[in-house]
Amino acid sequence: RGMGRGGARIPRGIKPDDGDWLCPDAACGNWNFARRLECNRCGKANPTPPANKPKTAPYGNPRFKEGDWKCPMCGNINWERRKQCNMCQTPKPGVGVEKRDGIGGGFNERQDSGDYKQRDSSDEEFDDMGRRKKKK
């Protein structure tokens, strides 16, 4: 079995966690972690085995937190901050579509194509990539 160096005496400054247990064999007296089902020194069974705790992480994965949501279309798990699925772009359930009126100063925040200024690109000094055009 294990080669633990434990004994009935807990080292100074060490506080056992909830569920840690003392081996029932008086000759062994080893302190064991709560996760152990048997003593790691002599192999005796834990007299009070831990109850099976239900998983607390959403979707059974500790990487997900409360508030994360599952996409109804593709089944992808998305972080809470996302307003739409990062795989299929389906909006988050329960989140209304906000009106974008362009007051925030963001890039091209116009509702319809009528808001765009008509222009002739051949008259401009710069091309679509922002480079200065050569003079003809």
CA distance 16 to 46: 16
Nearest 10 degrees: CA dihedral of 106, 107, 109, 113?
Answer: 170
> Per-residue confidence of the chain (136 residues) as pLDDT tens digits?
444 454 456 667 777 777 888 898 989 888 888 888 899 899 999 988 777 665 566 666 777 788 888 899 898 989 889 999 999 999 998 876 666 665 565 565 555 656 556 666 666 777 777 788 887 6
Say which DSSP state 69 is in.
E
Residue 84's nearest CA partner among 74, 75, 71 is 71
pTM for the whole thing?
0.33
The radius of gyration of the chain from alpha carbons, rounded to an integer in Å, stands at 32
* Backbone torsions φ then ψ of 109, nearest 5 degrees: -90, 70
Torsion sign over Cα 42, 43, 47, 50:
positive
